[in-house]
Amino acid sequence: MKSKPSIMCRFKFFIGHLFVKVLHRCLCIAQKQERNVKAINKYMADLESNPLERSFDIYDPDYDARLWRGYRKVILEFSPEQHETTFRAHFMRNELITLIAEDPSIKTVINVGSGYGWLESEVAAACPAVNVVGLDRRQSESNAKEFNSSERSNLSYVDVDDIFKNIEENPDLYNGAVIVFVNVLHIFLPMFMDKLFKALGDAKIGYVALWEPCGFSRRTGKFYEFTDEEKPATYYYGSDNDYVLIHNYPNILRRGGLKVIKSRVAPQATELLQQHHVAYFLGKRGI
């Protein structure tokens, strides 16, 4: 019959096991910090050189699919009061439906960066007289299947690799349209933003409605303040899978021929840390 390990042996085993866990945790933290530093350095280099596109792609098809499935799951399971993703989805839906009701001349809504397709489906259902289009690099087939867009004549999803080419080739679609960006513009560099809003301005869009993260910048150590005047973008926060810029949206909209008619800059609805804010701007042409 084997004797039981002594209390001292068990204690030594426990301490050894705990030491290994702590060491592993410390190594993981150090590796993550190293990845974060490399990611930040890459982004800062891109900010300094300001190319049209980043020197590295933060998304891939697998990441996109996981992200969009996660968003979809959150919207189905949590109320706007419980989760920021659900809050912004419902907020943007309500803003767009209200805007369409207030301006009967609106015939088209285009969501650039459609992702999981929920917003387009909701707006199309509430506004059957309006053509609603979701654009993204990939997802049109799955979104069409998920939301039965074939059964709604006013709802479609389109895969677009080159937004500039899409704008150029579809002038009638963009003319007078409401262009929507939800949690999309923060990944783009300033030169891309300049080119994008010039193209949208030349296309004579009617409105831009955007919702983007902002707040306390790790780069400056201050909260970003939006202004109508020119002001450089700043680095918000970042890690190995988060790369966020804060752009001066009022000035960008103005340079695109639009005037801000509504704005909201506030802490995230469900965020306890007040350093994380969100910004909503609605710009209109011809004012």
Q: DSSP per residue over 198-227, as a string?
A: HHHHHTT-SEEEEEEEEEB-TTTSSB----
- The pLDDT, as a whole number, for residue 240 is 44
d(CA 124, CA 80): 20
- The pLDDT, as a whole number, for residue 241 is 46
- The pLDDT, as a whole number, for residue 66 is 77
- The pLDDT, as a whole number, for residue 93 is 96
Residues in the chain: 287
- The pLDDT, as a whole number, for residue 285 is 93
- Tokens for 74? 């959150």
Q: What is the pTM of this model?
A: 0.79
Low-confidence ranges of the chain (pLDDT < 70): 1-14, 16-20, 22, 24, 26-61, 63-64, 218-219, 237-243, 268-275, 287
All residues at 6 or more sequence positions from 43 whose CB lies less than 8 Å from its CB, including other chains: 54, 235, 238, 243, 245
Any idea what the Cα angle at residue 211 is, between residues 129 and 150, rounded to 5°? 35
Give Cα 140 to chain centroid, integer Å. Answer: 18
Do 267 and 277 meet the contact criterion of CB atoms below 8 Å apart? yes
> CA nearest 203: which of 250, 237, 156, 166?
166
d(CA 191, CA 125): 36
Per-residue model confidence as pLDDT tens digits over 168-221: 999 999 999 999 999 999 888 889 999 999 999 999 999 999 999 887 776 677
Enumerate long-range contacts of 131-137, CB under 8 Å, 24 or more apart. 131/107, 131/156, 132/108, 132/156, 133/108, 133/109, 133/157, 133/158, 133/173, 134/110, 134/158, 135/110, 135/111, 135/160, 135/163, 135/166, 136/160, 137/64, 137/161
- The pLDDT, as a whole number, for residue 239 is 45
- The pLDDT, as a whole number, for residue 272 is 45
- The pLDDT, as a whole number, for residue 270 is 52
